[in-house]
Amino acid sequence: MPEFDLASAAVQAALDAGAHYADARLTVRRYESMSAHNGDIEDLTQDESAGIGVRALIGSSWGFYAVPDPGTAAARHAGERAARIAQASTLVPGAPIQLAPVDVRQDSWANGCEIDPLSVPLSEKGDLLAGVTATMREHGADIALASYDAWDTRKWFVSSEGHRIAQHVRECGAGMNATAVGDGETQRRSYPGIRGHFGTAGWELVRSLDMPGNAARIAEEARALLSAPQCPPIETDLILGGEQMALQIHESVGHATELDRILGWEAAFAGTSWLDLAQLGSLKFGSELMTITADPTLPGALGSFGYDDEGTPAQPVDIVRDGIWVGALAGRDSAALAGLPYGGSMRADGFNRMPMVRMTNVGLLPGQHSLDDIIAATDDGIYMDTNRSWSIDDRRLDFQFGCEIGWEIKNGNRGRMLRNPTYTGVSPVFWGSLDMLGNDLVYWGTPNCGKGQPMQIGHTAHPAVPARFRGVRVGVTG
Amino acid sequence: MSAELAGLVLDLVAKAAPDAEAEVTVVRGELALTRFAGSAIHQNVAEDIGKVRLRLHTEGRTASSATTLTSLDALEALVERTIGAARLRPEDAGWGGLTPPSPLSGEGNYDPATAAADPGARAAVVRAFVDAAGGLETAGYCRTSETITVYANSAGQSVTARATAAITDGIARTCSSDGVARSAAVRLGDLDGAALGEHAAARARLAADPVPLAPGRYPVVLEASAVADLVGFSAWYGFNARAVAEGRSFVELGHEQFDPAITLHDDPLRPDALGVPVDAEGAPKRPLPLVLGGISTSLTHDRRTARQAGAESTGHAVPGGERFGALAGHLCLRPGPEGPDLLAGLDRGLLVSDLWYTRVLDPRTLVVTGLTRNGVWWVEDGRIVRPVRNLRFTQSYLDALAPGSVQAVGARAESIPGTYGEGRTSTPGVRLASWNFTGGAAD
């Protein structure tokens, strides 16, 4: 195939220029997004990008160069430039990089997709978004927004070790939110989550969300929040809905267990981690109910793939087992340095970015209880759902998260609605207080995970269920 | 070549949809970034940038598309796709029209040497930073970029602009602390890696072995990096005309919403401004006063919000702005008069280097939560007494800068790069009467 030939030419050029390892990804991506505002379609974007990114390893540094719209000469040029860039790094050298061994594969992979999102008529998509925003306006929203995004990505990967892997990944998702403007503040309700719900799936995912059936409800809730009592500043039992649990996992477990952060490679910007590799296998991260895996093989989840962007086949990895920290998200370079057996978490945001350690589908194993069971078992507490704000320190230890909506829980019953609910904690203490886990498992897709320099936006998912935590500080305000 | 490409796309649109209003933006250039960690370069990347963006309005409907492909076939497909998409859309009642012919004030701040900087030049800056840290572990990046933007539309506007940028941002680390130094400039030659590394190391040593401090409200001196966060959030959430129209903003023009010591401009034409002097709709960028002596004065508009408000575009359109409005990218907080150091007036309070992971809890009140980072110190009688551990805050930025709350504005502005490497803010430090620390970060 010409795509493999171009990638092979780039790899060979990097080797000819002195690299002792090189790989190349030729990527063609189509992206479509539409948004509606108060009943009108306000934006429609259809982008396409095609290009090749080449990674070359010399000594202690990767060199990377990307070109758009490549022919053979441009691909070779990219390979040579990648090697020259890596060579320049020897002015400030470190320890030589090794790569963890991986099976060399020639393969192809595509995710399941019943209805191609890009083939669904724009009129149908527009009617959906315009309709739900009109409904939200009719039911009390001052600002009603809805949008969808769809990506169709084809990648051809070649390495100097012999990989030749083609992948076709189709992703999409949608969401909506209603904002009510009050006297001096705003309140917002979103559905299904803060920015929607996304997966490696076709348009059938969007149809399954039943956005029209939820539009009126969230608008009415946003309006009602303006007059709801403020979440009190107390310490209490906290029940989190599944969507907020996805955020909790993402920020306090997913990022904390990225090996590049643990090794200090992201120290200046994204930060490091409170985790110490010397404690892998013994550190108590949370209660015994806490078992978290990173599993890129989950059908339909947004962080799923056949192979990561350095050719490592997808496979599940335990991160926390029965409350003990046992694993990390890694690439071949960081895994080799840390002495871990497996990478498999390296992905890039497009052809023009170098792969880096990214979350895959990092999530909780579910428990036995329904949300109603958890509420019924709680004498005094607060139930919060749908993320509104998130902030965590650069070691992923101290966090303060806000939700869109809360309810008092008294004697096992859901009571008054509460506005501006927030909670704060320290990761192992918070996870250590987990004492009830729900069974309503959803693979929440997160299409906006920022990391790296230049900034890359990653797609991850978080299998999550409602859960209860004991003795949490809530209601922090400015 | 970019101008010819833009003209070709306009010609293709004219043939396919003669009545369409169309605008084409062609961006070319190179972005290169050399990252270091553990005092060694570990990731060294560059990309050849090439992108064509088409937006058109036909039969009352609007759509936009972009591509990295520049063959005739690909450009014909771009035009066909965009026209097809527009025709399937509902009518766009808010369309703001195309920018009429209007010259730029200049081509932009451009340095040929920075445009030509090779990985060796960036590595040399990193080498100097690492060496100047005196053995402390270091991490950060040195980045250079060249951007050439051609904009043309069917109303006759046709401009070319170019810009270069160079940024160095890094930390030095002890076992218990980090110190930071960062700067942004048009010319790589204006960045002194050694001076930055030396500053970061000195701050890291000064912040070593911090002690806990009880949460509470304290007077603070915020250094320039921290102030850039306040200024940016105020502009993007507040002075954004779309946010005002939707009722999400706190801004009330003509009202004294800030302390009289606060004067804030967006100034894309300064000789040290980064970025091209043309916005995403082809409008010339120009200076805009947002706050004059504490009084909210102007909003940032693109053509869509300007039309709705009966105003004119202020040249702040950004790609994708249909969803979130027009944004200021060249913010400048006016320095205060020469006088004693900001710390000199702080009897008991905190000196804060940097803010981290700040998130807005409510845009109307501009209540933000976040943490301190890269050094916090307890100050008594104008002198640093001891470093303290990082703290979480939950604070209304609007209240922090409100009338009577700003005790002093520093006399010297620094050039602070944007958090994500784009743009920069020119700002001095400030001394504020109160800052609400709501928790101690767990160290």
Q: Which residue of B has its CA nearest to A88?
A: B120
Look at B442 and A184 and tell me if their CB atoms are within 8 Å: no
> Best interface-test mutation with B: which of A25, A30, A250, A400 has the largest number of B CBs within 10 A?
A400
Q: Which CATH architecture describes the domain A2-225? A: 2-Layer Sandwich (3.30)
Residue B381 lies in a domain: yes
- According to the model, what pLDDT value does residue A43 have? 85
B40-58/A61-68 β-pairing: parallel
Is residue B144 located within the same domain as residue B195?
yes
- The answer to whether B303 and B313 are in contact (CB under 8 A) is yes
- According to the model, what pLDDT value does residue B441 have? 60
Is residue B163 located within the same domain as residue B257?
no
Measured between CB atoms, which of A46, A88, A390 is closest to B123? A88
Measured in angstroms, the CA of A371 and the nearest CA of chain B are apart by 27
Look at B369 and A400 and tell me if their CB atoms are within 8 Å: yes
Q: Which of B200, B233, B248 lies at the terminal end of a domain, its last residue? A: B200
CATH number, domain with residue B136: 3.30.2290.10
Look at A66 and B40 and tell me if their CB atoms are within 8 Å: no
Is residue B219 located within the same domain as residue B146?
no
Write out pLDDT tens, residues B371-404: 999 999 999 999 999 999 999 999 999 999 999 9
Measured in angstroms, the CA of B304 and the nearest CA of chain A are apart by 11
Q: Among A244, A258, A289, which Cα is nearest to A389's?
A: A244
The number of domains in chain B is 2
Q: DSSP class of residue B342?
A: G
Handedness of CA B240, B244, B246, B248 (dihedral sign): positive
Position of tokens 């994204």?
Answer: A270
Is residue B46 located within the same domain as residue B128?
yes
Write out pLDDT tens, residues B247-298: 999 999 999 999 999 999 999 999 999 999 999 999 999 999 999 999 999 9
> Which range of residues forms the domain containing residue B182?
2-200
Look at B139 and A422 and tell me if their CB atoms are within 8 Å: no
Please report residues of A whose CB lies closer than 8 A to that of B201: none
User: Residue B200: pLDDT above 60?
Assistant: yes
Please report residues of A whose CB lies closer than 8 A to that of B139: 264, 267-268
Measured between CB atoms, which of B90, B119, B420 is closest to A84? B119
Measured between CB atoms, which of A86, A184, A393 is closest to B371? A393
Residue B205 lies in a domain: no
Please report residues of B whose CB lies closer than 8 A to that of A123: 88
Is residue B122 located within the same domain as residue B232?
no
**Residue ranges per structural domain of chain A:** 2-225, 234-474
Is residue B252 located within the same domain as residue B180?
no
Q: Which residue of B has its CA nearest to A182?
A: B247
Residue B74 lies in a domain: yes
Residue B325 lies in a domain: yes
Both structure tokens of A409 = 């829980």
List per-residue pLDDT tens for chain A, 478 residues long: 699 999 999 999 999 999 999 999 999 999 999 999 999 888 888 999 999 999 999 988 899 999 998 899 999 999 999 999 999 999 999 999 999 999 999 999 999 999 999 999 998 999 999 999 999 999 999 999 999 999 999 999 999 999 999 999 999 999 999 999 998 899 999 999 998 999 999 999 999 999 999 999 999 999 999 999 999 999 999 999 999 999 999 999 999 999 999 999 999 999 999 999 999 999 999 999 999 999 999 999 999 999 999 999 999 999 999 999 999 999 999 999 999 988 899 999 999 999 999 999 999 999 999 999 999 999 999 999 999 999 999 999 999 999 999 999 999 999 999 999 999 999 999 999 999 999 999 999 999 999 999 999 999 999 999 999 999 999 987 7
Both structure tokens of B19 = 């009545």
Is residue B281 located within the same domain as residue B186?
no
Q: For residue B354, what are the β-bridge partners? A: B373
- According to the model, what pLDDT value does residue B423 have? 79
User: Residue B443: pLDDT above 60?
Assistant: no
Cα diameter, chain A: 72
Is residue B296 located within the same domain as residue B359?
yes
Q: Which of B200, B235, B256 lies at the terminal end of a domain, its last residue? A: B200
User: What stretch of H or E contains A275?
Assistant: none
Distance CA A157, CA A24 (A): 6
Residues 6+ apart with CB under 8 A from A273: A255, A256, A257, A258, A261, A262, A395, A396
Measured in angstroms, the CA of A314 and the nearest CA of chain B are apart by 24
Measured in angstroms, the CA of A377 and the nearest CA of chain B are apart by 30
Look at A391 and B369 and tell me if their CB atoms are within 8 Å: yes
Residue B148 lies in a domain: yes
Write out pLDDT tens, residues B106-161: 999 999 999 999 999 999 999 999 999 999 999 999 999 999 999 999 999 999 99
Residues 6+ apart with CB under 8 A from A117: A32, A148, A150, A152, A170, A172, A202, A203, A206
Of all residues in chain B, the percent with pLDDT exceeding 70 is 99
Q: Which residue of A has its CA nearest to B70?
A: A69
- According to the model, what pLDDT value does residue A1 have? 61
Look at B49 and A264 and tell me if their CB atoms are within 8 Å: no
Please report residues of B whose CB lies closer than 8 A to that of A400: 369, 392, 394, 438-439
Distance CA A134, CA A174 (A): 16
> Best interface-test mutation with A: which of B51, B79, B369, B422 has the largest number of A CBs within 10 A?
B369
Is residue B143 located within the same domain as residue B35?
yes
- According to the model, what pLDDT value does residue B421 have? 61
Residues 6+ apart with CB under 8 A from A257: A273, A275, A294, A319, A325, A327, A328, A329, A362
Q: DSSP class of residue B297?
A: -
Please report residues of A whose CB lies closer than 8 A to that of B143: 453-454
Q: DSSP class of residue A226?
A: T
Both structure tokens of B158 = 């046709």
- The answer to whether A180 and A223 are in contact (CB under 8 A) is yes
Q: Which residue of A has its CA nearest to B370?
A: A391
Q: Which of B200, B220, B241 lies at the terminal end of a domain, its last residue? A: B200
- According to the model, what pLDDT value does residue B35 have? 97
Write out pLDDT tens, residues B393-442: 999 999 999 999 999 999 999 999 987 666 799 999 999 999 999 987 65
Counted across chains A and B, CB pairs separated by less than 8 A come out at: 281
Look at A45 and B64 and tell me if their CB atoms are within 8 Å: yes
- According to the model, what pLDDT value does residue B311 have? 96
Is residue B100 located within the same domain as residue B242?
no
Residue B117 lies in a domain: yes
Residue B262 lies in a domain: yes
Q: Look up the ipTM and state it.
A: 0.95
Measured in angstroms, the CA of B337 and the nearest CA of chain A are apart by 31
